[in-house]
Structure 1
Amino acid sequence: MTVSEVAHLLTRAEHYIRQTKYREALAVLDQAIKIDPKNAGIWCLCASAKIEMEKFADAIADCERALSINPNYADAWTKKALALYHLEQYAASLAASTRASTLNANDASAWYIKGICLEELGKSEEAEIAYGKSLELEIILDIKDESKRIRK
């Protein structure tokens, strides 16, 4: 299989995830891993599906695989932060979400996770700043989406 075939598998997996067909997504991603095991994006998509299935420890392992391939993969840091949060590992989740927001300052999810972790750790003032940044980014994203719809 070629790189374009892997891209096709990733598109199929994303489609399954949007349809909440997580097992099907993981089956497609397993095919992609056999072809390109050093593709961090594949491992990150696996983590997404596993988070939705509430398999948080498995999702963290997939994020770790993605990060071993690309330590600066912001989305993998965000997914890891989310999985750690669900396991109530707030300090570790805060560290991962901070890394994600440092790598991609426009990642609203990373800022939101950072806020909820700070809140859990009793740092309400810092949490409000992170929540504010998340909300600001969400508004910007909504405006961009709306302007794209208007242009069509």
Structure 2
Amino acid sequence: MDVDLSNQEQAIKFKEQGNDAYKKKDFEKALELYNKAIELDSNNMVYYTNVAAVLFEQKDYDKCIDTCIKAVDIGRENKADFKLIAKAYARIGNAARKLGDLKKAKMYYEKSLSEHRTPDVKTLLSETEALWKEEERKAYVNPELAEQEKEKGNELFKKGQFSEALKYYTEAIKRNPDDAKLYSNRAACYTKLAAFDLGLKDCEKCLEIDPKFTKAWIRKGKILQGMQQYTKASAAYQSAIELDANASEAVEGYRQCVMAASSNPEEVRKNAMTDPEIQQILRDPAMRMILEQMQSDPKALMDHLKNPEVAAKINKLLESGLISIQ
């Protein structure tokens, strides 16, 4: 095919002038110049992607996408650099994201990366996937269906079919993730199945949503008590008692924990040593020096307690039974 070099040269000049106008945000002028470049050299996909860039700035996202698709077709026909194809696909992804079509944006970011991998597009893809998943999660939320799933779970729980009940509680949580009671119900299931770590995690999520949910504090206390973490269990029971002084389960649980701790202090200390927070305190050289100083000079304790951060660490060690003050 014969190529008119003078036309190509003139097209490049129009493109450069268009670039200058684009930088000055004179988008109408830039669009006019890019289109002139296309009239002179319609086989160069760069001019189409430049037009698409202007359309993106003008918020004409649909037309931007159409122009990028045309640019890719022309680029393929004329064996354009794969990096240019990737750039056009990425721009389609950006426009689709502006239009709120996250599924389409995700697809074109993936197409872009299949042509040429760049950190920027990888980041855009990750962000879009996260937004899309969140959209899907929100679309799935339905409090009425959550209530139905919960009731099915309750029926199975009463029958002792804990594994089956667990499935319905999990589905209920997906349908209404902000309902604290659902996490409490599932925690009860996990406890029956001896999955204490998972039950504890659900109790903590429940209390994150509703810190005044007395039953969840009691349930957390029972799980910790079952794990023989009596200090933490008694703290959970104490929180329940503060919310409801008549919570007999909490009062009884607290009493049992205190008795268990006093009857087997060695076991309490052993359990305390598995606590990551206590491990970190004991590894702290400054705290070790403070503890040694407290042993040789009991009066030093009062000075150290004036520092809130140090006081909190000392109280943590006192609660765990690892240290005592005579």
- The normalised TM-score by structure 2 is 0.36
Aligned length: 123
Query: Following TM superposition, by how much is the alpha carbon of 1:122 offset from its aligned partner in structure 2, in angstroms?
Result: 1.8
Of residues 46, 49, 59, the one that matches 2:189 is 49
Distance of 2:229 and 2:197 partners within structure 1: 11
CA distance in 2, matches of 1:36, 1:106: 31
Deviation at 1:3, TM superposition (A): 2.9
CA distance in 2, matches of 1:72, 1:95: 14
- How far apart in 2 are the matches of 1:60 and 1:18? 21
Is residue 241 of structure 2 the alignment partner of residue 101 of structure 1?
A: yes
Q: Deviations over 1:8-31 (max 9, x none)?
A: 222221221111111111100111
RMSD value, Cα: 1.5
Please name the residue that 1:36 is paired with.
Answer: 176
> Structure 1 residue runs of 4+, over 6 Å off?
none
Question: Are 1:79 and 2:219 matched, yes or no?
Answer: yes
- The higher radius of gyration belongs to 2
Equivalent residues of 2:152, 2:168 under 8 A apart: yes
Structure 2 CA distance, aligned partners of 1:82 and 1:122?
18
In structure 1, how many angstroms separate the alpha carbons of the residues matched to 2:144 and 2:242? 31
Runs of at least 5 residues in structure 2 that lack an aligned partner in the other structure: 1-140, 264-326
Unaligned runs of 5+ in 1: 124-152
Report if aligned partners of 2:145, 2:175 keep a CA contact under 8 Å in 1: no
Distance across 1 between alignment mates of 2:207 and 2:161: 25
Identity %: 24
Q: Deviations over 1:79-127 (max 9, x none)?
A: 110000011100000000111122122322111211110111228xxxx
The equivalent position to 1:17 in structure 2, one of 124, 147, 157, is: 157
CA-CA distance at 1:2 after TM superposition = 4.3
The one-letter code sitting in structure 1 at the alignment partner of 2:239 is R
**What are the Cα deviations for residues 55-87 of structure 1, in whole angstroms up to 9, with x where unaligned?**
111110000110111111111111110000011
Taking the aligned partners of 2:193 and 2:251, their CA distance within structure 1 comes to: 23
